[in-house]
Amino acid sequence: MQWVWDLVVDNDSAVGKLVTTVVIAFTAVAIGSLVGRLASRRVDDRYRRYYVRKSAHYVVALLAVIGLGILWRPFAGQLGLVLGLITAGVAFAMQEVIGALAGWFNIVSGSIFKVGDRVQLGGVRGDVIDITPLRTKVMEIGSSVGEDTWVRGRQYTGRIVAISNKATFVEPAFNYSASFEFIWEEITIPIAYRDDWRLAERIMTEEAMRVSASEEAEAAVAAMIGRYPLARTEVEPRVFVRATDNYLELAARFVVPVRTARWVKDELTRAVLARLEEAGIAVASPTQDVTIRRPDDGNAQQDQTVGQALGR
């Protein structure tokens, strides 16, 4: 067996290099299989066990390739050139990974958001549940303006979305709950010109004041002014009136905690509609005046105007 060992340690002749190559290959296979089994035994989840085993195989294979490269030295004397080409190729192939790592550093150092914050990132709205060096995982919530979600409100859809951290450089990152955990909401109700719109305005103002979190928001605004050079903003509920061709548009603006916005808006809408119904004030809709002309007493014409309601 001494001659076999001599061939293994002989790295000058072609035969010796071939024998050493075979030994490295068999050793890599054996070590990869052993390390994969030992590593997978420490993991209970079968999916993570699969990835751990595959990762162990890849690491051992990479080490074997490096060893073979050192053995055969195909570019002896040009190590600097080889390393330069490899570095350039790796940088080009992993530009997305590098961008994601830079985005992770941007998130951590800039305090853009943290786990638990409600954000909009990469076109996805939701609560951050995990931040890794490459990706941010978000528990998605629905939106009344989004076309790719079936939940028409700020409630969970059940999907967990993984977003590359690079998105913090290429798109705006909206944070709904970092320093100010409140948002301004609005409900808009059209009132016909013939109805008592002042009473409708009073009803909407009273109900908006009942559900608004103005005191808590005022304290949060004061805390933000202590940290940022912001102008003091109004947090008290208000009702704005706008005249249109068909009706008066009453918009109640109020502030609520970001995570309860849909429930508060639902409660306010129900209460306002019930009180308007009690007051005999109907919700208006766009209308169109149609004039019908018919003969009367020979050449005389009688105009009759009919208001035809058009549903929204």
pLDDT score at 156: 82
The average pLDDT across 157-184 equals: 87
Question: Pick the residue with more confidence: 200 or 37?
Answer: 200
CA–CA gap between residue 306 and residue 129 (Å, rounded): 58
Nearest in space to 257 (alpha carbons), one of 123, 121, 154? 154
Question: Pick the residue with more confidence: 151 or 247?
Answer: 247
pLDDT score at 268: 93
pLDDT band at 97; cut points 50, 70, 90: confident
Residue 49 has pLDDT above 90, yes or no: no
Radius of gyration over every alpha carbon of the chain, rounded to an integer in angstroms = 35
- Residues 6 or more apart whose Cβ sits within 8 Å of residue 149: 140, 142, 143, 157
pLDDT score at 59: 80
pLDDT band at 308; cut points 50, 70, 90: very low
Residue 73 has pLDDT above 70, yes or no: no
Q: What is the pTM of this model?
A: 0.59
pLDDT band at 138; cut points 50, 70, 90: very high
* Percent residues over pLDDT 90 in the chain: 21
User: Contact, 207 vs 268, CB < 8 A?
Assistant: yes
User: Contact, 219 vs 232, CB < 8 A?
Assistant: no
pLDDT score at 253: 92
Q: Does this chain's domain 108-175 share its CATH topology with 182-278?
A: no
Residue 311 has pLDDT above 60, yes or no: no
Q: What CA–CA distances, in Å, run from 280 to 106, 200, 272, 275?
A: 56, 10, 12, 9
**Average pLDDT across the chain, whole number:** 78
pLDDT score at 310: 40
pLDDT band at 197; cut points 50, 70, 90: very high
pLDDT band at 147; cut points 50, 70, 90: low
DSSP string for residues in 124-145: EEEEEEEE-SSEEEEEEE--SS
pLDDT score at 151: 73
* Unique residue bearing structure tokens 């035809």: 308
Q: Whole-angstrom distance between the N-terminal and C-terminal Cα of the chain?
A: 92
Residue 312 has pLDDT above 70, yes or no: no
Question: Pick the residue with more confidence: 233 or 172?
Answer: 172
Most confident by average pLDDT, 4-8, 138-142, 144-148, 290-294: 138-142
pLDDT score at 261: 85
CA–CA gap between residue 262 and residue 211 (Å, rounded): 12
* Percent residues over pLDDT 70 in the chain: 75
**CATH tag for 108-175 (out of 2.30.30.60, 1.10.3720.10, 2.170.150.20, 2.40.50.100):** 2.30.30.60
CA–CA gap between residue 33 and residue 41 (Å, rounded): 12
Tell me the two tokens of residue 261. Answer: 């916005």
Question: Pick the residue with more confidence: 32 or 40?
Answer: 32
Instruction: List the chain domain ranges.
Output: 2-74, 108-175, 182-278
Class of domain 182-278: alpha beta
